[in-house]
Amino acid sequence: MGKIAFWGEILKKSTERRAEREGDWKQDYPGNLPLEFKENGTLLGRLFDWTVDKINNFIGQDPDSKVLIEVLDIYGFESFKTSSFEQFCINLAKEKLQQHFNQHVFKMEQEEYTKEEIDWSYIDYVDNQDILDLIEKKPGGIIALLDETCIFFPRSTHETFSQKLYQTFKSHKRFSKPKLSPTDFTIYHYAGDVTYQTEHFLDKNKDYVVAEHQSLLSASRYSLVADLFPPLPGESSKTLKFSSIGSRFKQQLQSLLETLSATEPHYVRCVKPNNPFKPSIFENNNVLQQLRYGGALKVIRISCAGYPTRRMFVEFIARFGILAPNVLEGSCDEVTASKRILEEVDLKGDQIGKAKVFLIAGQTTELDARRNEVLGRSVSIIQRKVRSYLTRVPLTIVPEPTQAQCHDIDREVSQFIAELDHGLSSVATSPQAYSLALNPTIKLPHDEPTTWLGTVSATVFEYPFF
């Protein structure tokens, strides 16, 4: 009963106001209620803001704090088969945030070059300011024309709004009219072209509360409803004050950008590898589209226009010092060593800063290729040495012989040499051995070893000295 009475009172106030305006007291049907009450747009919007304020107060946010950490979930760029006013606002936010991101990266690049005291020229990059002027410029932008059309609603329709757009932006390079639709329009955003359908632009852009509704809601016995609709001061409580979602959204965006400009932002780009949300699947076209829509490719172009690679002197020498090993042999400071390495590899276009080496696009790839060649040759040398070592017969280290053993060895060897000099080998006692002494090419059976060979082996090799 409470809800019925609540909306019944709204219906009564609405019909009374319309009857007073039209000169009779005709009762309107509930379908003639203003759009914001049929869809509860205003009520839900204020309830959302109220909820956010309550959450911030609950978590202990100090409004007077000068140090804070905020997390901003950036809008995703949207392009659907049917793109309406919601997508228009979201893509406007994305355009604004992308411009801030580009300027932030560009500013960081300039500050880095100035800090390192290197010679650099102005880096030119594609800006999207012309798209923002097309949408939010006042007067003459799309939002301004939309607000102007909404003021004269219902005499103005979405067809009227579309015709205004066609006449105003017929020569704009970022705007076009589709051939197959009399009311749609296309904007060439930085991330791609989006065609918007204007059928509900006017209805969704209106954001005002009738004075009678405002008074009724502000006098509600429910404290929550009264807080959502505070009384309006003075004359504004008796008149109908027009406001639009588009204009309010633009103001909130501007406030957000002012906050971002006063802080030190850090960006995290999240990329979805596949639409089915399954592991080990990487959809190239899908990822490329996300990078393009997220503005990552634009930022890469900005970085590549200057010096995309910069390394501290210690890191540069540690990685690329093997390209000029003679440089590291002498004693020199990091700056001199880095310069000599660059001179040795004969690169053009690099610069030496106060603490870093700045390389233009492509030079890091070339240095890494040369480094891989040097490492490849070094690996081949190491493999050759190791294989040579493994194929050699290992020698056993034996202890040195005693003095008595040395005398015995000397005596035996001297006797053996003397017998060979006289041609009389007393140890060759068998005919086979004698034949072998006269003709060394004779092959003896393995089971008949010569006595003299055995004697020599026993005499010479029984001592570990050899």
Q: Give me the tens of pLDDT residue by residue for the chain, a chain 466 residues long.
A: 444 444 445 545 544 544 444 443 333 333 344 444 444 567 777 888 888 888 878 887 677 777 778 888 876 778 888 999 999 999 999 899 888 888 888 778 778 888 888 877 666 666 789 999 999 988 889 999 999 998 887 788 999 999 999 999 999 999 999 988 999 999 999 888 999 999 999 988 887 667 777 788 888 888 888 888 887 765 555 555 667 889 889 998 999 899 888 888 888 888 889 988 899 999 999 888 888 777 777 777 777 777 888 899 999 988 998 888 887 777 788 888 888 888 888 888 888 898 899 888 888 899 999 999 999 999 999 999 888 888 776 665 667 777 777 777 777 777 766 665 555 444 444 444 444 444 444 444 444 444 444 444 443 334 343 3
147 lies in a domain? Answer: yes
Strand positions, DSSP E, 85-203? 175-176, 185-188, 193-196
Say whether both 153 and 120 belong to one domain: yes
Q: Which residues contact 227 (CB under 8 A, 6 or more apart)?
A: 50
191 lies in a domain? Answer: yes
37 lies in a domain? Answer: no
In the sheet that holds 193-196, the strands lie side by side as: 175-176, 185-188, 193-196
Domain boundary among 391, 415, 446: 391
225 lies in a domain? Answer: no
Tell the burial category of 232 from Cβ atoms under 10 Å away from its Cβ (0-12, 13-18, 19+): middle
Say whether both 99 and 172 belong to one domain: yes
Domain boundary among 391, 415, 431: 391
295 lies in a domain? Answer: yes
Say whether both 379 and 421 belong to one domain: no
Q: What is the DSSP letter of 244?
A: B
Say whether both 180 and 322 belong to one domain: no
13 lies in a domain? Answer: no
Given a contact cutoff of 8 angstroms between Cβ atoms, the answer to whether 285 and 88 are in contact is no
Say whether both 111 and 253 belong to one domain: yes
Cα 458 from Cα 464, distance rounded (Å)? 12
3-state secondary structure 288-301: HHHHHHCCHHHHHH
Peptide bond into 233 cis (omega under 30): no
Using alpha carbons, select from 209, 241, 244 the residue that is nearest to residue 89. 244
Q: Which two tokens stand for residue 426?
A: 């007393």
Q: Which two tokens stand for residue 42?
A: 């205003």
Neighbours of 229 (CB within 10 A): 19
Cα 293 from Cα 398, distance rounded (Å)? 76
Cα 431–436–442 angle (5° rounding)? Answer: 115
Orientation angle between helical segments 284-293 and 296-304, nearest 10 degrees: 70
Please tell me the pTM assigned to this model: 0.61
Orientation angle between helical segments 85-116 and 245-261, nearest 10 degrees: 20
Say whether both 301 and 314 belong to one domain: no
Q: How many residues does the chain have?
A: 466
The DSSP annotation for 359-383 comes to: E-TTHHHHHHHHHHHHHHHHHHHHH
Q: Which residues contact 145 (CB under 8 A, 6 or more apart)?
A: 161, 164, 165, 168
* Domain ranges, residue 419: 403-461
Say whether both 329 and 435 belong to one domain: no
Q: Which two tokens stand for residue 372?
A: 């891989």
138 lies in a domain? Answer: yes
Say whether both 269 and 370 belong to one domain: no
Say whether both 339 and 363 belong to one domain: yes
Say whether both 330 and 449 belong to one domain: no
19 lies in a domain? Answer: no
- The CATH number covering residue 135 comes to 1.20.58.530
The DSSP annotation for 374-409 comes to: HHHHHHHHHHHHHHHHHHSPPPPP-PPPPHHHHHHH
Q: Which two tokens stand for residue 12?
A: 């009564």
Say whether both 291 and 348 belong to one domain: no
Using alpha carbons, select from 90, 86, 85 the residue that is nearest to residue 74. 90
**Number of folded domains that form the chain:** 3
Say whether both 197 and 289 belong to one domain: yes
Domain boundary among 391, 421, 445: 391
- The CATH number covering residue 319 comes to 3.30.70.1590
Cα 75 from Cα 70, distance rounded (Å)? 16
